[in-house]
């Protein structure tokens, strides 16, 4: 017997990942631009991420091997972390010692569907999950708005 399986596009896969991570926030929008234009901004870790993520001062890619990337992030308040990143067209998941993040994009909805997730890692995350989700929602919406602005300015 074979079961029908609905294929998940990358945005839906990211939503599933966000649902599985305690305290993760997830934000999704449609950007009125072609996929390649949106992904060019989103995938520019060193150039665009400090503009998109308000708490990130700099990103330096220290190693790249195909879709596997190691990136060192420095926060605006001195926080530093190294992230293991999987980065390919339409999909980016990154994990550091304190944070898991991700982005996904697919053509559709009259432009490009784009999503972002953020989640803290560590002790107490599960207990604080409801508060983290509430606090994260406006952060996600702000990132999506900055992404839209950056795509339009190119």
Structural domains for the chain = 10-153 (3.30.530.20)
Sequence-distant (≥ 6) Cβ neighbours of residue 77 within 8 angstroms: 55
Confidence of residue 23 (pLDDT cuts 50, 70, 90): confident
Span 131-145, average pLDDT? 82
Backbone φ, ψ for residue 43 (5° rounding): -85, -5
Mean pLDDT of the chain: 90
pLDDT at 88: 98
pTM over 0.75: yes
pLDDT at 11: 97
pLDDT at 72: 97
Confidence of residue 122 (pLDDT cuts 50, 70, 90): confident
Helix, strand, or coil here: 54? coil
pLDDT at 98: 85
Contact, 103 vs 92, CB < 8 A?
A: yes
> What does the pLDDT look like over 144-153, one tens digit per residue?
999 999 999 9
H-helix or E-strand containing 41?
helix 35-42
Q: Which residues pair with 137 in a beta bridge?
A: none
pLDDT at 131: 66
Q: Evaluate the CA torsion angle 74, 77, 81, 87 in order and state its sign.
A: negative
Sequence-distant (≥ 6) Cβ neighbours of residue 19 within 8 angstroms: 26
Backbone φ, ψ for residue 52 (5° rounding): -80, -40
Residue 94 has pLDDT above 80, yes or no: yes
DSSP structural state of residue 88: E
Cα angle vertex 115, ends 87, 63, to 5°? 20
């Amino acid at each position: 017997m074979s079961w029908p399986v609905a294929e998940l596009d990358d945005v839906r896969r990211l939503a599933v990942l966000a649902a599985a991570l305690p305290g993760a926030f997830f934000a999704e929008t449609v950007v009125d631009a072609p996929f390649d234009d949106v992904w060019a901004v989103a995938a520019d870790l060193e150039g665009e991420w400090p503009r998109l993520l308000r708490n990130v001062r700099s990103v330096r890619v220290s190693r790249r091997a195909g879709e596997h990337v190691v990136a060192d992030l420095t926060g605006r308040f001195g926080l530093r972390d190294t992230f293991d990143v999987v980065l390919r067209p339409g999909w980016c998941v990154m994990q550091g010692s304190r944070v898991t993040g991700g982005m996904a994009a697919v053509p559709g909805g009259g432009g490009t569907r784009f999503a972002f997730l953020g989640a803290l890692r560590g002790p107490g995350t599960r207990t604080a999950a409801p508060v983290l989700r509430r606090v994260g929602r406006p952060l996600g919406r702000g990132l999506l708005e900055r992404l839209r602005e950056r795509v339009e300015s190119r």
